Structure 1
């Protein structure tokens, strides 16, 4: 029997972190030829993840351009995928989450009549402009996909309510699988500042980069972060600043020169995971960190108006603090000053996985193609 050709498509740093362990798990199966196509929607940050996980692309579309738009990303990805599919002839294409690469990859697969598996399916805010463009990307991929790999029961329920009844699997989140390979007690950072930090102090890991926070929300957040640092002498804020010119301009304007605020360049996946493991708490507008930090026992304040990850809020590992100055400042100060509030979040149970999501996805693919007699059991948080 010929091996199944399963092609994983991704292009951003967060996608790569979550897909890397899956690419490797698929490669470990005798029945599967694991193929990897990267769009390089984020070039430098993607390359660092590929290096950390020792991955090599079978096809690299290299689409990134300065100040790229959603239209250029999507159109270049679609055109590049034509050649990738013709060249690699996959039996199934796997896309992840909700980026422009995700949508274009799924749409191209549909045009070529190649089945699609959606990793991290079923996340919803039900506001098509927040997060933008992610909410609409994942809804469009839902309409195209054949298999749906849902991290949690809640994600599956979202899809059932939308009329998706077949091909649904609850797998846990593959990012928990990734953390198992990257976090080490003896880890030494290549960013020397991170080796020199006193982690007995309250080190706060910060990220802020989302498009919907551009403008006044980002100014509110940056100002609140500045004042949190000024008002809490026992804390240090470490902010790996996204490469977006808009984000970097705001970080320089509002945070540069503030005592105990460290603006550094973006970190590789292993550096980020190990910093997260050593920090006190996380303040972010990212999606992935809402899953990663709770797995390491770190409370997360989400600087957004809503989250597509309500399981973490329900479990108590994550709290929404919004984008208003007063709320970000108040909730940040509370976690830094109240041990009771901190412990309630740090000791909550992470609902996102047990480190075996990739194995469940591989089993589900093999079952779908008739290579397994039994349907794999769902993850139960």
Structure 2
């Protein structure tokens, strides 16, 4: 069975790499990989870690492209790839422009689509933008839906998706982070090699890149981090996303401040190492909301809404938005209140057990056994 995995950003590569390795290890599959390189630098950092090389590298991103321009370029590039590779099924992951384009391009070629991490919803088209609509539309195009949780599966059922086409797998990102963690602990992978981390200070690891926070939102986030950096008991490490809308305010407002290290975007393995050594994670990343609980870390999320409510309900994640007072107050509580810290830091991950990729592979095989004529026909 020919299976084409399409990805364009680092989070997609992280979450599809365990799936690619699982499929490649089974004799029933012939696996091919296509990178659109929606995030060129960040994507390249991940692939070497898992020993993965794309069969097709479209390298489509150009500086200053609009969403419409990116969409058009990805669609045109994928049409050629699909007609050349002629897969029996296409796998896409998540909610990026590449995700939607991969599903739509496969639909146009009448190729079944499997959507990894299906069913996430905020029910607000503007939060996050454009990801919410990307994943909603991808669900309309997909043949198989691999939901990370029962909540995500329930969302799909509400939208009329056939229950027989939904599999609750857990999240493949947990497969990836546990794979890396184990190799860091055994010493077969190298970790963080940047600025010295002072063991007497509590490490706060920050990431922020969401489009809806561009402008005033990032200024408020930076104001909160500046206030936290005045404490003598913390060290803040912030790998800064390359987008100019992020680099500008972060470098201007936080550059040169004591107790803050502004790092270049990190490769995946050093970043997992940072997370496992952190006291608190402050982020707007969806992936980190899933990974942090696996590592026993409390997470403050720089968003007002999340499509991943399970960790909020479990108590390991808090939504703080971009209000400086809320960010600072919640961070200080975790720095000073040991009971509150231990309550949030307990190792409880509602997103998976490290076996999600195997469940994805099993579900694909089961579908084709029941529907042997489904390849290249919806």
TM-score category (smaller protein): over 0.9
Which runs of 5 or more residues in structure 2 are unaligned? 373-378
TM-score (norm 2): 0.95
Corresponding position of 1:201: 201
* Residue-pair matches, total: 367
Separation in structure 2 between the aligned mates of residue 83 and residue 190 of structure 1, nearest angstrom: 40
- TM-score with structure 1 length normalisation? 0.94
Match of 2:364 in 1: 365
Correspondence for 1:8 among 2, 5, 8: 5
Q: Tell me, in whole angstroms, the C-alpha distance in 1 between the residues paired with 2:140 and 2:200.
A: 49
Q: How does 1:1-381 map to 2 (within 5 A)?
A: 4-165=1-162, 166-183=164-181, 184-185=184-185, 186=187, 187-189=189-191, 191-193=193-195, 196-230=196-230, 232-370=231-369
What are the superposed Cα offsets for residues 297-337 of structure 1, whole Å, 9 maximum, x if unpaired? 00000000111000010011111011112111111111111
Residues of 2 paired with 1:199 and 1:80: CA distance?
Answer: 48
Listed one character per residue, the Cα deviations across residues 74-99 of structure 1 (whole Å, up to 9, x for unaligned) are 11110000110011110000000000
In structure 1, stretches of 5+ residues that fail to align are 374-381
Cα distance, 1:246 vs. partner? 1.1
Q: 8 Å contact 1:315–1:348 — kept in the other structure? A: no
Q: What is the Cα deviation at residue 256 of structure 1? A: 0.8
Q: Distance in 2 between matches of 1:142 and 1:214?
A: 28
- Provide the rounded CA distance (Å) in 2 between the counterparts of 1:191 and 1:11: 27
Maintained 8 Å contact 1:10/1:39: yes
Deviation at 1:253, TM superposition (A): 1.3
Separation (CA, whole Å) in 2 of partners of 1:143 and 1:216: 34
Task: Measure the CA separation in 1 of the matches of 2:193 and 2:83.
Answer: 41
How far is the alpha carbon of 1:271 from its aligned partner? 0.9
Note the alpha carbon deviations across 1:164-211, whole angstroms, 9 max, x for none: 123000000001111122121235336332xx2124421000001100
1:121·1:150 contact (CA, 8 Å) conserved in 2?
yes
